[in-house]
Structure 1
Amino acid sequence: MSQFLLTWIITAFSLLITAYLVPGIIIKGVMVAAIAALVMGLINAVVRPILVLFTLPLTFLTLGLFLFVVNAISFSLVSYFTPGFEINSFWDALFGSIILSFVSSVLSQALEPKEV
């Protein structure tokens, strides 16, 4: 349970950092970021695998680069379902999803409990 909370907090904080770095992404508060992190978890667990499966031939033809588009679509869906979270364009969603992945992975590595 503590790992879930840590991941949720890291994702919410990463969303806030991403909104600060990408001008086309607007988050209207910390609570909105926390709700968006929960919605993102649900979309990544349910919708994203279906999108990946349906776009597998296109992903194969582009040598995996189409997964960036799938991530941007998933990120846009999060903003659609979360009031107070806005993404202005597809390009903002694309750059935002890339920055979110990078920031989230850096924070996860920094805050990961060390094994003794």
Structure 2
Amino acid sequence: MRIVTWLITNAIALAVATWLVGGISFDGPTSGMAEVKEKLLPLLLVALVLGIVSAFVKPILKVLAFPFILLTLGLFLLVINAAMLGLTAWILPDSVGFHVDGFWAAVLGGIIISIVGWAVDRVWPDSDD
């Protein structure tokens, strides 16, 4: 059950980032039920890949970038979050239709995903804790 809540939380955060940031997008319709039907599976796939990338690559980057994180008082973590989002878009094939257009869109998307993920975790606590 914990994996399902984690995946749904990531998907919600990613959907909000896609909605708010112009440089993050999915291919396909832009409104109505057709959008929901066509983009739900790719959204869940991107959320899964983003979670896996963040679970395995992000800790390594944090260790390697520790001096920069310390020097910038943690602001370099925004760059690492942006890198995770960009890496996810790069890993996924074009058939998924997920795009991140540029560094600043990735930074803003990473901030939004972090904030929304935190908020959803507070509203919808995991029952295993």
Compute the TM-score of the two structures, normalised by the length of structure 1.
Answer: 0.90
Q: CA deviation at 1:27?
A: 2.2
| Number of the residue aligned with 1:31 | 41
Letter of the 1:16 counterpart:
A
| Number of the residue aligned with 1:18 | 17
Task: Indicate if the aligned counterparts of 1:69 and 1:94 stay in contact, CA closer than 8 A.
Answer: yes
Percent sequence identity over aligned pairs:
33
**Residues 7 and 62 (structure 1), Cα distance of their counterparts in 2 relative to 1, 3 Å cut:** same
Map residues 1-116 of structure 1 onto 2, 5 A cutoff. Answer: 2-28=1-27, 29-82=39-92, 83-112=96-125
Letter of the 2:69 counterpart:
T
Letter of the 2:3 counterpart:
F
Letter of the 1:56 counterpart:
F
**Residues 43 and 58 (structure 1), Cα distance of their counterparts in 2 relative to 1, 3 Å cut:** same
Unaligned runs of 5+ in 1: none
Task: Indicate if the aligned counterparts of 2:54 and 2:84 stay in contact, CA closer than 8 A.
Answer: yes
**Residues 10 and 62 (structure 1), Cα distance of their counterparts in 2 relative to 1, 3 Å cut:** same
Cα distance in 1 for partners of 2:106, 2:41 equals 20
**Residues 85 and 60 (structure 1), Cα distance of their counterparts in 2 relative to 1, 3 Å cut:** same
| Number of the residue aligned with 2:35 | none
Compute the TM-score of the two structures, normalised by the length of structure 2.
Answer: 0.82
Q: Deviations over 1:24-47 (max 9, x none)?
A: 100241111101111112111111
Q: Report the number of matched residues.
A: 114
Which runs of at least 4 in structure 1 moved beyond 2 Å after TM superposition? none
**RMSD over aligned Cα atoms:** 1.6
Letter of the 1:72 counterpart:
A
Cα distance in 2 for partners of 1:21, 1:40 equals 18
**Residues 35 and 54 (structure 1), Cα distance of their counterparts in 2 relative to 1, 3 Å cut:** same
Letter of the 1:61 counterpart:
L
Q: CA deviation at 1:52?
A: 0.9
